[in-house]
């Protein structure tokens, strides 16, 4: 199964990182309040980063790596060539 790591820019200008096999479905879950508890009190604005082609294990490890980055490092990652979001 093709797992993905993603970063969502939230309504309060924070960055949320997660993993999924279906990014559109997961974003819709977050937007409807059926996703992560993180979105209670804030809304997802847009997906700003995506990495594809991972296994469940590698996606989870990569998610933790990204969550441990500083905000500035996450912004650099979002601007990098590894970002699969098409502008």
74 in any annotated domain: yes
86 in any annotated domain: no
Element (H or E) spanning 15, and its range? strand 15-20
Per-residue pLDDT reduced to its tens digit, 2-51: 999 999 999 999 999 999 999 999 999 999 988 888 998 899 999 999 99
Domain range holding 34? 3-78
Q: What is the CATH number of the domain that holds 30?
A: 3.40.1440.10
> Rounded to the nearest 5°, which phi and psi values hold at 70?
-75, 165
85 in any annotated domain: no
Number of domains in the chain: 1
Task: DSSP for 21-59, please give it.
Answer: S-HHHHHHHHHHT-S-GGGTTS-EEEEEEEEEEE-HHHH
Our measurement of the distance from residue 62's CA atom to the centroid of its chain's CA atoms, rounded to an integer in Å, reads 11
Per-residue pLDDT reduced to its tens digit, 53-75: 999 999 999 999 999 999 999 99
83 in any annotated domain: no
């Amino acid at each position: 199964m093709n797992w993905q790591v993603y970063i969502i820019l939230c309504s309060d200008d924070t960055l949320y990182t997660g993993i999924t096999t279906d990014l559109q479905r997961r974003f819709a879950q977050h937007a409807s309040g059926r996703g992560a508890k993180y979105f209670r009190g804030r809304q997802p604005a847009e997906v700003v980063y995506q990495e594809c082609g991972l296994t469940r294990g590698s996606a989870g490890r990569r998610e933790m790596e990204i969550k441990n980055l500083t905000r500035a490092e996450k912004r650099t990652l979002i601007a990098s060539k590894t970002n699969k979001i098409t502008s």
